[in-house]
Amino acid sequence: EPLVGVLALQGDVREHVAALEHVGASAVKVRRPEELESLDGLVIPGGESTTIDKLARAFGLADPLREKIRAGFPVYGSCAGMILLADEIADPTQDLAGRPQETFGGLDITVRRNAFGRQRESFETDLDFKQVDQAGGPVHAVFIRGPWVERVGPGVEILAEVDPAHASHTATLGGRARIVAVRSGRLLATSFHPEVTGETRIHELFIRMIRGEA
Ligand code: GLN
């Protein structure tokens, strides 16, 4: 079975470990650069992208991870994890020295942080989600200050969009469908948190990507 790491610097690590084990992977928490070496793939959890970025640099994980991603290492990023995989952030924060927030990058997309609004505007909706087992019906998605994708480069597949007709967020959405799940090669990213609802088909897709079956 594939050995999948969960980046355990900050965020909802335990839920991803449980979801990975549920779909037949071995899951380990990762905090040190050496721990990346034996992995078949990595999950970057939700949390706060600026914090995860700072800690990853402090722990010496940022550069090795960036290199591995460039070399084809499979990574799934959820929420803050999607932001960290994006090549570009529409609205990056700046630290006290005025340096913009960094990402690991690898996905040719532009994301907007907190796009659906603040914590109190967190919402749930059902999504048609490509490449997962369709027999289970739509994917129930929980959004907690999640980003959306404003631009996808060539080679990036759109797997799911929030339909403005279904959401309680018609005004925020600007009457447009918004991209909330993408894939490019062996990189997968969702704006939402499948790990909190017991939805395991996204993790299952990721494992199939690692195995070269999807
Ligand atoms: N808003 C957070 C960020 O910018 C992401 C929120 C989440 O991961 N639930 O990183």
Q: How far is the CA of 208 from the centre of ligand 1 (A)?
A: 26
Which residue range forms the structural domain that includes residue 41? 3-211
Pull the structure tokens for residue 189: 């990213």
Q: Where are the alpha helices (DSSP H) in 167-200?
A: 170-173
Please choose from 15, 43, 48 the residue to mutate so as to test ligand 1's pocket, defined by most ligand atoms within 8 A of CB: 48
Q: What is the pLDDT of residues 6-42, one digit of tens each?
A: 999 999 999 999 999 999 999 999 999 999 999 999 9
The model carries a pTM of 0.95
| Whole-number Cα distances in Å, 137 to 54, 132, 133 | 38, 10, 8
Q: How far is the CA of 75 from the centre of ligand 1 (A)?
A: 17
Q: What is the CATH number of the domain that holds 61?
A: 3.40.50.880
| ipTM, two decimals | 0.90
Q: How many domains does the chain have?
A: 1
Q: What is the pLDDT of residues 47-99, one digit of tens each?
A: 999 999 999 999 999 999 999 999 999 999 999 999 999 999 999 998 888 88
Is any ligand 1 atom within 6 A of the Cβ of residue 16?
Answer: no
Residue 99, marked binder = no
